[in-house]
């Protein structure tokens, strides 16, 4: 049985969408209006760009999300969003699918009179994406590209989306807390991805292996842990070091939230395993990648929430599972002896990726 490897097929960006929140239905929406512009690009051969001028996207870009689990109206508070989206071209082609992710309040500045200027960001996964091929091309105001991805990827597609939404002080309480709101300026970027046939071989190594074989770990960096913590080197001592993530001492350096430090260790190893597998033409399955994404949503959670999620157990089980490569690929076939020098330097030195001075 063949597994499926991930390939990016399109990228997109839209600006000046109009955002609104209905406090009665708890629905956030964003819609193309007269001054909205955007691009939907095919990024696999034959590549192409569909650019949309102002006026071409009215009612043709639509997001609708149910908002739940609102934690408050202060910087750092979050809300969950789940719903659907539609992208239409200038002809009859539609891209539709589901969306699920997390909103975060990043800015809250008083504008006087009980009003605030606020900024929210959203990061979410796209799923069940389909492209109707009524016209076989995706057409912009200028430019078009073929919607035929046969032999490259198969539906349903998946992907990600990052959105920045601004609230320009028109309400006193703000989104996700009290009252309706309309007129937010919404900008978004994202990518649509598909699956191609590939081997079901998966390579896994433990946190101990990755932490003590820096010459191998370096080959598969950078990796990003907890959303924005990019780990690019292995020498101990600074906040961009994979060794600091892999070798942190939960009991000494993260006493108030030991689970967080353990989660960072296992997330880092899991990301390295995924990277090493992909580099060697394998695929560990969409299930573990989805689980990694879910677990990264807990990077700001307390130790009870992390523990109750089962993430540490699931990631540990993955990282300690057996390889499915028939023969270990280079350099895993002869990794050499473990060298714990840098790991010992990182263990207990006070650096915790994503916390304190590394936040």
How confident is the model over 9-43, as pLDDT tens digits? 999 999 999 888 877 888 888 999 999 999 999 98
Instruction: Tell me which of 128 and 232 has the higher pLDDT.
Output: 128
Q: How far apart are CA 204 and CA 292, in angstroms?
A: 14
Residue 352 CB: number of other CB atoms within 10 A? 22
- Residue 327 burial by CB count (10 A; 0-12/13-18/19+): exposed, middle or buried? exposed
Q: What would the mean pLDDT of 46-64 be, rounded to a whole number? A: 91
- Picking from 173, 168, 189, 192, the residue whose alpha carbon sits closest to that of residue 122 is 189
The encoded tokens of residue 341 equal 């020098």
Q: Reduced to 3 states, what is the DSSP secondary structure of residue 128?
A: strand
Q: How far apart, in whole angstroms, are the C-alpha atoms of residue 157 and residue 9?
A: 9
Question: For residues 167 and 117, is the Cβ–Cβ distance under 8 A?
Answer: yes
Over residues 98-125, the pLDDT tens digits come to 999 999 888 888 777 767 777 888 999 9
Q: What pLDDT sits at residue 139?
A: 95
Cβ neighbours around 117 below 10 Å, total? 15
164 pairs with which residues across the strands? Answer: 121, 187
pLDDT at 195 over 80: no
Cis peptide before 46 (omega within 30 of 0): yes
Rounded Cα gap, residues 46 and 123, in angstroms: 29
The pLDDT value given to residue 7 = 82
């Amino acid at each position: 049985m063949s597994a499926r490897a991930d390939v990016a097929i399109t990228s997109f960006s839209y600006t000046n969408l109009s955002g609104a929140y209905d406090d009665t239905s708890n629905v956030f929406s964003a819609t193309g209006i007269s001054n909205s512009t955007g691009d939907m690009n095919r990024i696999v051969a034959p590549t192409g760009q569909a650019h949309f001028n102002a006026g071409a996207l009215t009612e043709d870009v639509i997001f609708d999300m149910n908002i739940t689990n609102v934690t408050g109206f202060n910087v750092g508070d979050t809300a969950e969003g789940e719903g659907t989206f539609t992208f239409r071209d200038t002809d009859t082609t539609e891209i539709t699918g589901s969306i699920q992710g997390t909103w975060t309040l990043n800015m809250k500045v008083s504008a006087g009179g009980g009003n605030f200027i606020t900024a929210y960001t959203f990061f979410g996964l796209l799923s069940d994406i389909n492209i109707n091929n009524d016209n076989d091309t995706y057409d912009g105001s200028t430019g078009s590209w073929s919607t035929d991805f046969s032999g490259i990827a198969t539906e349903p597609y998946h992907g990600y989306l990052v959105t920045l939404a601004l609230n320009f002080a028109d309400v006193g309480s703000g989104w996700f807390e009290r009252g309706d709101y309309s007129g937010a300026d919404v900008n978004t970027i994202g990518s649509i991805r598909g699956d191609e046939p590939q081997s079901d071989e998966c390579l896994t190594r433990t946190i101990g292996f990755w932490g003590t074989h820096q010459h191998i770990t370096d080959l598969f960096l950078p990796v990003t842990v907890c959303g924005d913590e990019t780990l690019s080197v292995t020498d101990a001592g600074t906040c961009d070091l994979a060794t600091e993530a892999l070798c942190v001492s939960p009991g000494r350096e993260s006493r108030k939230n030991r689970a967080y430090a353990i989660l960072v260790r296992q997330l880092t190893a899991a990301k390295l395993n995924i990277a090493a597998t992909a580099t060697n033409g394998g695929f560990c399955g969409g299930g573990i990648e989805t689980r990694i994404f879910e677990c990264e949503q807990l990077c700001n959670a307390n130790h009870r929430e992390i523990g109750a999620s089962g993430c540490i157990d699931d990631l540990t089980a993955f990282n300690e599972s057996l390889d499915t490569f028939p023969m270990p690929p280079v350099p895993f076939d002869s990794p050499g002896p473990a060298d714990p020098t840098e790991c010992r330097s990182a263990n207990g030195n006070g650096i915790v990726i994503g916390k304190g001075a590394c936040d």
